[in-house]
Amino acid sequence: MQTAPSSAQEPALAQPAPIRRLLSLDALRGFDMFWIMGGEEIFHVLARTTGWAWAVLMADQFTHVAWNGYRPYDNIFPLFLFLAGVSTPYSLGSRLARGHNRAALARKVIQRGLILVLLGVIYNNGLFVKPFAELRFPSVLGRIGLAGMFAQLIYLYVRNERSRYALFAGILLGYWAWLVLIPVPGAGAAGSLTMEGSWVGYVDRLLVPGRLHKGIHDPEGLLSTLPAIGTAMLGIFAGTLLHRRDVSDRFKLQWLVLAGVVCLALGWLWNLVFPVNKNLWTSSFVLVAGGWSFLMLALFYWIIDIQDSRRWAFFFVVIGTNSILIYLAGEVIDFEHAAHYLFGGLLAFFSEPVRALGGVLAFLAVKWGFLYVLYRQKLFLRV
């Protein structure tokens, strides 16, 4: 951890913070991270303790689809990767404009990507040595590191924007063709998209060392990292638009909304022949998740940066400026114990539903308070 003396400090690439800060980006990242750090438990607790129909419905939306399909909770991870892409034109683009060496920037991108892979392995397995066969190497941080790294390298070396769009389309179409048109050895005819019979699981079992999260398949495995590069590239396209100074805010907003609607339409149309599937990170899933990410970014950009309504966003900004740290901190800090120590006596006077809900809110309050202290001290984890 290091001290960030001023807002002019150059941002990290893996968890970016633009030099000219786009507040909506930090707020949306914080909004996304709020659910990862435990916010979804609010609905799960209400559903369990009250049985209210609306709480049960919301709790269901905050679970992952078992295989094919989509729920809002499935968008949390790709949104985080999308936002890492949004900041790339602010960080890398600004450095290139100041004359930084392209190869030196590429080395930093690769270094930070590999550090995130290492942090992901530590997050999965802890700091203590385990037998090699019990280690899980794929991870959420690893996917962010690798997919973000390759997307940023494309940004650095593919200078023509149209060529980037063509490469994005090529990645999605190539992944579709690989999974649907090429038979998996020993699995019969081509086109099997099951956990057991898809190319994704086959490559994981063949090449990924250690254990897989689901035994025969890993949702953050090797092959499905390829279309995840497309998710980060969608963010780069959005960031390139927002970084432009020759167009109005209204123009940017209109194109963000249009991009979101087009991605959603194409994604659900493709779903008819290539199902939306987060576990496989299918090309249709990239478009559906990207469509919602565009629309959420448009909403936050309109409210915060265009309408200048900012005070409400502070809660999420505090989370968003240290999102990687709070993701990792839960592995070494017992926030639940701290919440019980601080609030357990007070909650004991209430009924079970209130105690359960209060416990979740206390847990979130302790986490947010921890981040607020770091924010006030200008302490941020930079990878």
Q: What is the average pLDDT value for the chain, to the nearest integer?
A: 91
Mean pLDDT within 61-72: 94
Residue whose C-alpha is closest to residue 326's, from 380, 250, 252: 380
Which range among 103-107, 128-132, 288-292 shows the weakest confidence by mean pLDDT? 128-132
Question: Is the Cβ–Cβ distance between 301 and 252 less than 8 Å?
Answer: yes
CA distance 160 to 49: 55
Tokens 């409400």 label which residue?
A: 312
**Model confidence band, residue 214 (pLDDT cutoffs 50, 70, 90):** very high
Give the pLDDT mean for 325-353: 86
Amino acid occupying residue 99: G
For residue 321, how many C-alpha atoms fall within 13 Å in the half-sphere facing its CB? 26
Find all residues with CB under 8 Å of 368, minimum gap 6, and list them: 315, 318, 319
- What pTM value is reported for the model? 0.91
Listed residue (111, 20, 36) closest to 322, CA to CA: 36
Q: How confident is the model at residue 21 (pLDDT cuts 50, 70, 90)?
A: low
Helix ranges (H only) for the chain are: 23-34, 41-50, 53-61, 76-86, 88-97, 102-125, 140-157, 161-181, 199-207, 225-243, 249-270, 283-300, 314-320, 323-329, 335-347, 352-376
Give pLDDT tens digits for 137-189: 999 999 999 999 999 999 999 999 999 999 999 999 999 999 999 999 987 67
pLDDT-based confidence at 19, cuts 50/70/90? very low
Taking CB atoms within 8 Å and a gap of at least 24, the contacts of 246-253 are 249/301, 249/305, 249/306, 250/306, 252/301, 253/298, 253/301, 253/302, 253/306
Residue 20 scores a pLDDT above 60: no
Contact 270, 214 (CB under 8 A): no
Mean pLDDT of 111-132: 90
Per residue in 260-308, pLDDT tens? Answer: 999 999 999 999 999 999 999 999 999 999 999 999 999 999 999 999 9
| pLDDT at residue 144, rounded to an integer | 96
Contact, 321 vs 352, CB < 8 A?
no
Mean pLDDT of the 232-245 span: 96
Angle, alpha carbons 321-322-326 (nearest 5°): 150
Give the residue among 228, 185, 176 at the shortest CA–CA distance from 206: 185
| Exposed/middle/buried for residue 49 (C-beta within 10 Å: 0-12, 13-18, 19+) | middle
Structure tokens at 177: 């063709």
| Contact by Cβ (8 Å): 195, 201 | yes
| pLDDT beyond 90 at 309 | yes
Who has greater pLDDT, 14 or 273? 273
Q: What is the pLDDT of residues 138-149, one digit of tens each?
A: 999 999 999 999
Q: How confident is the model at residue 381 (pLDDT cuts 50, 70, 90)?
A: confident
Q: What is the pLDDT of residue 69?
A: 95
Q: What's the whole-number mean pLDDT along residues 122-151?
A: 91
3 and 379 Cβ atoms separated by less than 8 Å:
yes
CA distance 23 to 310: 8
Helix (H, G, I), strand (E, B) or coil at 183: coil
Residue 325: predicted pLDDT? 93
Q: Are 175 and 227 in contact (CB under 8 A)?
A: yes
The answer to whether the CB of 291 falls within 8 A of the CB of 246 is no
Least confident of 12-16, 54-58, 165-169: 12-16
Distance CA 336, CA 92 (A): 38
Beta bridge partners of 136: 210
Give pairs for 19-22: CB < 8 Å, separation 24+.
19/90, 19/91, 19/94, 20/90, 20/94, 22/86, 22/87, 22/90, 22/242, 22/301, 22/305
C-alpha radius of gyration, the chain, whole number: 21
* Residue 8 reports pLDDT greater than 50: no
Q: What amino acid occupies position 276? A: V
Confidence of residue 17 (pLDDT cuts 50, 70, 90): very low
